[in-house]
Structure 1
Amino acid sequence: MAKAMLFSLVLLISAFLIISMAESRMVVAKSNPECELVVGVVSGDTCAAITQQFGLTTEFFGSINPNVNCNALFVGQWLCISGTA
């Protein structure tokens, strides 16, 4: 009887710990950046040129444009130049 109660207690504590760990991982999720102003890419534009033109840091530019591949910009692509990360 005591072994069954001990087993049940260990099982309950294990389930609690697993649920706690799973919920704590959900809280750490990143928020989505919000864009306030965009610019369209023109021929010859690079990420470096755009960050310099609009006085942005590389880190901030990357945080408001998380899905941009700076090695594959294309004419007409919209890039965020102002917003919150």
Structure 2
Amino acid sequence: MAKANKTMVLNMILVLSLLLIISVAESKRIGGFGLKEAKGTPTCETVYSVKSGDTCSGIQQEFNLTEQFFDAINPNLNCDALFVAQWICVDGTVN
């Protein structure tokens, strides 16, 4: 009886390992867990401190930035959750 339980546990471990390997392989094949691949590393030259009432589009207009460039130099910015004194990059490069 004990040998049958050990065999069943071993089989379960093998099946779970196989499922884990398949899921990791599939995630790499389709781009990895839904994350975008970085096109380059942004380097920030100048920052701006968010003030009350600021929006991303307002900051883009104030510094004459295109939306694409603004997004490229602020890749992790959530424009729906800006907060006062948050630093936003307004000039830089994307390598």
Query: Structure 1-normalised TM-score?
Result: 0.64
Q: Percent identity?
A: 59
Q: CA deviation at 1:31?
A: 2.5
Determine if the alignment matches structure 1 residue 58 to structure 2 residue 67. yes
SS of match in other structure, 2:88: strand
Q: 2:79 aligns with which of 70, 75, 81?
A: 70
Deviates more, 1:29-38 or 1:67-76: 29-38
Find runs of 4+ consecutive structure 1 residues off by over 6 angstroms: none
Matches within 5 A, 1:1-85: 30-85=39-94
What count of residue pairs does the alignment treat as equivalent?
58
Query: CA–CA distance in 2 between the matches of 1:45 and 1:29?
Result: 27
Task: Report the counterpart of residue 4 of structure 2 in structure 1.
Answer: none
Structure 2 CA distance, aligned partners of 1:29 and 1:61? 15
Task: Tell me the CA shift for residue 30 of structure 1.
Answer: 3.2
Q: 1:37 offset after TM fit, Å?
A: 0.2
Amino acid at match of 1:66: P
CA shift at 1:49, angstroms?
0.1
Compute the displacement of 1:50 (Å). 0.1
Question: What's 1:11 paired with?
Answer: none
In the superposition, the TM-score normalised over structure 2's length comes to 0.58
Q: Distance in 2 between matches of 1:77 and 1:46?
A: 12
Q: Distance in 2 between matches of 1:42 and 1:53?
A: 13
Could you tell me how far apart the structure 1 residues matched to 2:93 and 2:41 are? 9
AA aligned to 1:52 is Q
Structure 1: state its 5+ residue gaps: 1-27
